[in-house]
Amino acid sequence: MAKTKKNEIVVITGASAGAGRAAVREFARHGAWIGLVARGVDGLKAAKREVEAAGGKALVLPTDVADAEQVEDAAAQVEKKLGPIDIWVNDAMTSVFSPIKEMTAKEFKRVTEVTYLGYVYGTLSALKRMLPRDRGTIVHVGSALAYRSIPLQAAYCASKHAILGFQASLRTELLHDKSNVHTTMVQMPALNTPQFGWVKSRLPHKAQPVPPIYQPEVAARAIYYAAHHPEKREYYAAWSAVYAIEGNKIAPSFADRYLAKNGYEAQQHDGPEDPNRPNNLWEPLPGDHGAHGMFDDRSRDVSVELLLETHPKLLAIAAGLGLAGAAFGLIRGRRKMQERSEWQEEAA
């Protein structure tokens, strides 16, 4: 198959499952050739079949992104076998659902190395190749938790905060150098991915994403759009992400108290957790886990926020039809939230 203009060369970490797997499908749908980076070989092979079924090429690259040498080797293989990398998507993650007081130092280190340093190592390998060519885009898959931490996921939240700081420094340096290499970040809402059944957990009940929950295809569309419109520093994939991020800026103390009261229950659903079930913190779980988790019946396929962010003209029209009134209502709501927070602080 001859390389054509449509055959972008893309690397996606965390490509075997969840949002990364959905992103593989989205890029494949547009004709991309994809380097598939993750630990789970079964999922990578299944993703490769999906790319090939869409008419593209894919390279299975079993890689632990916590190992910089493995990441560099994966990048080198992509350039050798597929071609110069156009887009690098950092998405690989792991987590532990646990109170901080029950976490171990090794668990904090592992989550940080995968979820934060994995992005750093991927970026370094991408820059090594993109900067000399003066072209390319690096997309960081973020989260509303990069701004607003929640209980029971301290290591994951801290890693997402670190990615946000790293991303800002990287973007600033690229702008300073007037580079044609670009970077952007996509802040995700709660997603229906398999992670809630495979990450290590000390919760008494089964873990769940904090509603509202969105399907991973929403994330995939956001990632694909951001990769091709990287001039914007960050994108919000759903209104719930906007609400969490902006609400935390206005009334962080109120958010602390609200989450202290509600954040534990919101992350669990019916059914006791099995404390001895296998998890993927240290080793990948066998099998192809796909993109979706167990919450299909509660997940949204469409995000109005993403629709507006990816269609600026539609956003302008909607504003003309009455979003100004909604914005006014939002401002009033924010003021009330801030007043409530200040009142609670005084009462405390």
Burial of residue 68 (CB within 10 Å: 0-12, 13-18, 19+) is: middle
Q: How many CB atoms lie within 10 A of CB 17?
A: 31
Give the position of tokens 């994939």: 237
Task: Give residue for tokens 């999922």.
Answer: 43
- Give the pair of three-digit tokens for residue 170: 């990287």
Q: Which residues contact 285 (CB under 8 A, 6 or more apart)?
A: 40, 198, 278, 279
Annotated domain spans of the chain: 9-303, 311-348
Q: Are 46 and 237 in contact (CB under 8 A)?
A: no
Which phi and psi (to 5°) does residue 229 adopt? -140, 60
Of residues 52 and 308, more confidence is placed in 52
Q: Which of 188, 184, 201 is nearest to 240 (CA)?
A: 188
pLDDT band at 321 (very low <50, low <70, confident <90, very high): low
Query: For position 230, what pLDDT does the model report?
Result: 97
Residue positions counted in the chain: 348
Tens-digit pLDDT profile for residues 98-138: 999 999 999 999 999 999 999 999 999 999 999 999 999 99
Q: At what angle do helices 105-112 and 154-176 cross, to 10 degrees?
A: 30
Q: Which residue matches tokens 């990450």?
A: 199
**pLDDT tens profile 149-183:** 999 999 999 999 999 999 999 999 999 999 999 99
How sure is the predictor about 33, in pLDDT bands with cuts at 50, 70 and 90? very high
DSSP 287-306: S---S--S-GGGEES--HHH
DSSP state of 193: -
Topology of domain 9-303 in CATH is Rossmann fold (3.40.50)
**Residue 1 above 50 pLDDT?**
no
Q: Report the pLDDT value the prediction gives residue 335, as an integer from 0 to 100.
A: 54
Could you give the C-alpha distances from 172 to 1, 182, 337, 338, in angstroms and in order? Answer: 39, 10, 33, 31
Candidates 23, 19, 22, 132; CA nearest to 79 is 132
Nearest to 221 by CA among 182, 181, 191: 191
Whether the predicted pLDDT of 185 surpasses 80 = yes
Residue 225 is a catalytic residue: no
Q: Name, in order, each residue with C-beta under 8 angstroms of 178's C-beta and a sequence gap of 6 or more.
A: none
Supply the DSSP symbol for 104. Answer: -
Q: How far apart are the first and last CA of the chain?
A: 68
Options 119, 121, 156, 214, the catalytic residue: 156
Confidence of residue 322 (pLDDT cuts 50, 70, 90): low
Please list the residues that pair with 206 across neighbouring strands: 269
* Mean pLDDT, the chain, integer: 92
What's the confidence (pLDDT) of residue 309?
Answer: 85
Biggest distance spanned by C-alpha atoms of the chain: 69
Pairing state of beta strands 299-300 and 213-214? Answer: parallel
